[in-house]
Amino acid sequence: MKSIKKILLAILVIALVVYSAIVISNQQKQSKMISAIENNELVIDQTIHEWHIDKEMPLNIELYVRNSSEYLINGNLVFLVTLSKKGLEEKFMKKMIDRFGQEELIVLIKKRLDEDKAMRFKALYNYILRGNKLKKGEEYEPVEFEDKNKSADYTFKFRQYVSIKPGEIIKINHNQQLPLAETGYVLSVDINTIEF
């Protein structure tokens, strides 16, 4: 009877030691992955996005993410997408002009210029008046808001499970429905964190 108790106690001790070793190992791996992200060793090499003028069509985002760390990164990456109201992207303005026509847009813009939410249209109008060209050295058409409370950036997060080996580059696609009033602004994507 005593030998059975000793055997059960030994099995229990071994199980606890093995369990503890597994937990510690997983915590170390997670710590290394978090450290790799905090040290910018997981990098978005390229961001491609496609604007849609129709409110039914989502924003398409395509990312190429590279693992430059020496560790396998696996878990749910959390991406932070910012639509900065500092300006409108040229690709979006060209889509608007192609879709509605330049003359039709000018008429629409002139009708809405005195409205509070017409700042996007004013930027588009300036772009059209300049011959569909950005100011020299600019990457976007600046939007100036009279009411600073309306100029807050629009942000959202999305999650994607990844398993990226050291040195590997993966492609991530994401579609996001946006409020129509938020489309066209300068887009940026950052890796926010990782969840396990």
What is the number of other CB atoms lying within 10 angstroms of the CB of residue 19?
10
Q: 50 lies in a domain?
A: yes
Higher-confidence residue of 66 and 106: namely 66
| Contact between 65 and 191 (Cβ < 8 Å) | yes
Q: Give, in degrees to the nearest 5, the angle at Cα 175 between 170 and 184.
A: 110
Q: Which of 101, 122, 99, 100 minimizes the C-alpha distance to 111?
A: 122
| Structure confidence at residue 87 as a pLDDT band (50, 70, 90) | very high
Domain count, the chain: 1
Residue 83 lies inside a defined structural domain of this protein? yes
Q: Which residues contact 110 (CB under 8 A, 6 or more apart)?
A: 125
Instruction: Please report whether residue 115 resides in a domain.
Output: no
Domain assignment present for 180: yes
Nearest-CA neighbor of 89 among 28, 33, 145, 48?
48
Summarize pLDDT for 177-191 with one digit per residue, the tens: 999 889 999 999 999
- Asked if the model's pLDDT at residue 96 lies above 60, the reply is yes
- Give the CATH number for residue 83: 2.60.40.1620
pLDDT in tens, 123-160: 999 999 999 999 999 999 999 887 777 788 999 999 99
Instruction: Classify residue 120: in a domain, yes or no.
Output: no
Whether residue 7 is contained in a domain is answered as no
Q: Which domain holds residue 187?
A: 40-87+140-195
